[in-house]
């Protein structure tokens, strides 16, 4: 089926190609809901690491809002960021993020731009004085990039690293200096498929990049001084970055901070100092509402554990595939695996079979190779089962 519809005007018919998420009502008054349902049924399984899968109901609501937001008669893409309608969206999003994570009034929620990568320098700029030390644990590409930015503002102490084994595990058992300003962790590593399943016990605040597993499970909120996440992996579309910071950590650096890079600027203006990314924030709100409707982050954790067990069990029992991360540190968001020894030449064939069967985005990152299945909150058990069946069928034919 092509995404084209006949539109009847008084004197002319026009065949117009449209985005698959934007319906057009023809003379037979095809409803938005019925057309959207057809399109969703044709949708493939999205295993890409990011921008990543979103719930179908979120896509539907976002699509409707792209045409007309509420009863405004205007698209969410064109309304004023100062309007009462969007102010309500922003306030609910800021509040709901804290609610889902179980954080109280001593935290402020911000929706910023620049991706999680901008936080690599904004964090030490706002929290670390020259001469002070921040501690980091290097578990992959993103933490390594964050480490490189600290030296512009203060000292960095890399307490531990899993680079010696290509980041296939989470370091443990290291000492955390009591005089460090903060400890920076990356909770989930999209490339290498490792994840913190518990966080270190320390009196210093933990700063954590949760870009790829935010809202996927409960967290011990009292341990964190600052949490940040790019939206595009597990929360919404690319274009906004969530920052939740404990207020007592701010205002203590001696340096002059550029206005746009000062967290207090955005706190004082409720994330609307300049024009915020309206649509990504709105879709992130829809996604957070969806998480709450499913039962919150505790329900998400159970859902993700079931999906992860289904896929990892197949990897461990299938003679053609091998997991790359240590079992105790395996991620429930990103699952890398490779062909077993002697079967490496079958990699491209399996990828082609998956793509032909609607399982998209399974090619592994270049430093790991093989395959990577990103199974964020919105990935269904049906999607995992489809992939598992393909793996089983491939083993029967090739093993």
d(Cα 120, Cα 114) in Å, to the nearest integer?
10
Residue 58, in any domain of the structure: no
In the structure, what pLDDT confidence band is assigned to residue 314 with cuts at 50, 70 and 90? very high
Query: Whole-angstrom Cα distance, residue 383 to residue 371?
Result: 16
Give residues with Cβ within 8 angstroms of 370, minimum separation 6.
324, 336, 337, 338, 339, 347, 364
The verdict on 289 and 254 lying in the same domain is yes
Same domain? 152 vs 223:
yes
What are residue 338's phi and psi, to 5 degrees? Answer: -130, 170
Looking at the domain assignment, is residue 52 inside a domain?
A: no
pLDDT in tens, 132-180: 999 999 999 999 999 999 999 999 999 999 999 999 999 999 999 999 9
Give the pLDDT confidence of 176-225 residue by residue, as tens digits: 999 999 999 999 999 999 999 999 999 999 999 999 999 999 999 999 99
- Note whether residue 374 is domain-resident: yes
- Asked, for residue 360, whether it belongs to a domain, the answer is yes
Q: For residue 367, give both structure tokens.
A: 């430093």
Q: Could you tell me if 170 and 252 lie in one domain? A: yes
The answer to whether position 211 is within a domain reads yes
Q: What is the Rg, in whole angstroms, of the alpha carbon atoms belonging to the chain?
A: 23
State whether 125 and 258 are in the same domain.
yes
Distance of CA 338 to the CA centre of its chain: 23
pLDDT tens across 327-377, in order? 999 999 999 999 999 999 999 999 999 999 999 999 999 999 999 999 999
When divided into structural domains, the chain yields a total of 3
Per residue in 78-113, pLDDT tens? 999 999 999 999 999 999 999 999 999 999 999 999
Is the per-residue pLDDT at 6 higher than 90? Answer: no
Residue 129: inside a domain, yes or no? yes
Q: Are residues 287 and 301 in the same domain?
A: no
| Strand bridging mode 241-246 / 107-112 | antiparallel
Least confident of 15-19, 374-378, 384-388: 15-19
Domain boundary among 232, 266, 293: 293
Q: Does the residue 286 lie in any domain?
A: yes
Same structural domain, 4 and 114: no
112 and 233 inside one domain: yes
What CATH number does the domain containing 327 carry? 3.90.1150.10
| Region at 233 (left for phi over 0; alpha for psi -120 to 50; beta for the rest) | alpha
**Residue 118 CB burial class (10 angstroms; 0-12, 13-18, ≥19):** middle
Select from 211, 165, 164, 203 the least CA-distant residue to 185. 211
Q: Show the domain range for 10.
A: 1-38
Weakest-pLDDT range from 13-17, 37-41, 155-159, 190-194: 13-17
Specify whether 152 is located in the same domain as 279.
yes
Question: Does the structure show a pLDDT above 90 at 40?
Answer: no
Same domain, 153 and 22: no
Q: One of 209, 213, 262, 329 is an active-site residue; which one?
A: 209
- Please indicate, yes or no, if residue 174 is contained in any of the structural domains: yes
Domain match, 301 and 222 both: no
- Do 210 and 102 reside in the same domain of the chain? yes
142 is a catalytic site residue: yes
Query: What pLDDT is recorded for position 372?
Result: 98
Q: Which of 38, 44, 106, 142 is catalytic?
A: 142
Please identify which of the residues 181, 233, 290, 329 carries the catalytic annotation.
233
Same domain (yes/no): 253, 369: no
Handedness of CA 77, 83, 86, 90 (dihedral sign): positive
What are the beta bridge partners of residue 46? 360
CA angle, 78 then 81 then 84, to 5°: 105
Q: b or e along 223-251 (b: 16 or more beta carbons within 10 Å of the residue's beta carbon)?
A: bbbbbbbbbbbbbbbebbbbbbbbeebbe
């Amino acid at each position: 089926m092509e995404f084209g519809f006949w539109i009847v005007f008084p004197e002319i018919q026009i065949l117009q190609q449209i985005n698959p998420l934007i319906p057009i009502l023809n003379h037979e008054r095809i409803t938005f809901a019925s057309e959207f349902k057809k399109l969703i049924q044709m949708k493939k399984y999205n295993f890409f690491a990011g921008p990543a899968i979103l719930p179908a109901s979120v896509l539907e609501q976002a699509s409707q809002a792209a045409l007309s937001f509420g009863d405004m008669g205007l698209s969410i893409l064109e309304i004023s960021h100062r309007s009462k309608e969007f102010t309500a969206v922003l306030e609910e999003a800021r509040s709901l993020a804290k609610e889902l994570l179980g954080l109280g009034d001593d935290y402020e929620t911000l929706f910023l731009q620049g991706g999680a990568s901008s936080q690599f320098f904004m964090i030490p700029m706002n929290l670390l004085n020259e001469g002070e030390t921040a501690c980091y644990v290097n578990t992959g590409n993103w933490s390594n990039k964050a480490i490189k930015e600290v030296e512009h503002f203060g000292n960095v102490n890399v307490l531990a690293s899993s680079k010696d084994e290509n980041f296939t595990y989470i370091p443990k058992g290291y000492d955390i200096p009591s005089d460090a300003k903060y400890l920076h962790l990356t909770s989930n590593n999209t490339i290498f498929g490792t994840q913190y399943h518990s966080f270190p016990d320390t009196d210093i605040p933990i700063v954590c990049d949760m870009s790829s597993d935010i809202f996927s499970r409960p967290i011990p909120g009292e341990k964190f001084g600052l949490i940040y996440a790019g939206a595009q992996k597990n929360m919404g579309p690319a274009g906004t970055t969530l920052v939740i910071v404990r207020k007592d950590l701010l205002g203590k650096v001696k340096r002059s901070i550029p206005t746009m890079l000062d967290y207090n600027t955005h706190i004082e203006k409720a994330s609307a100092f300049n024009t915020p990314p309206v649509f990504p924030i709105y879709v992130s709100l829809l996604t957070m509402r969806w998480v709450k409707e499913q039962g919150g982050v505790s329900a998400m954790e159970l859902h993700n554990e079931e999906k992860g067990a289904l896929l990892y069990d197949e990897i461990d029992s299938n003679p053609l595939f091998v997991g790359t991360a240590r079992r105790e540190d395996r991620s429930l968001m990103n699952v890398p695996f490779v062909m077993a020894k002697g079967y490496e030449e079958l990699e491209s064939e399996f990828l082609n079979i998956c793509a032909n069967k609607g399982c998209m985005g399974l090619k592994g990152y270049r430093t790991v190779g093989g395959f990577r299945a990103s199974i964020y909150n919105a990935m269904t058990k049906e999607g995992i089962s489809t992939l598992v069946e393909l793996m089983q069928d491939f083993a029967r034919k090739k093993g």
